[in-house]
Amino acid sequence: MSDHEQQLLETAKNGGVEAFEELTGPHQARVYNFLLSECGNEFEAGQLTQEVFVRTFDLLTKKADIGNLYACIYRTASEISRQAAHESKKIS
């Protein structure tokens, strides 16, 4: 992680939304495409993508030991995908 990214991460940990968005912005399309391939619905994939970044930001600002930020994003996406699939089966 570069010095600039490290500074952004520290700012994000302290609630800096803009810094978080700058760090995570390049990953949003990949997360969306992953979730779209999992659920097959554009609207739902958009909703789930938002959930991924909200949860990740929440973990970050609560000072949780998330390890690598980018790994945390993709771990969270996988968890949310599994939860959505489980909820979908309950409804069906």
Give me the tens of pLDDT residue by residue for the chain, a chain 92 residues long. 789 999 999 999 999 999 999 999 999 999 999 999 999 999 999 999 999 999 999 999 998 788 899 999 999 999 999 998 887 765 54
Contacts of 52 (CB under 8 A, 6+ apart): 31, 35, 73, 76, 77, 80
Kindly list the domain boundaries of the chain, sorted by start residue.
Answer: 28-91
Distance set, CA 67 to CA 13, 31, 38, 63 (Å) = 13, 18, 25, 11
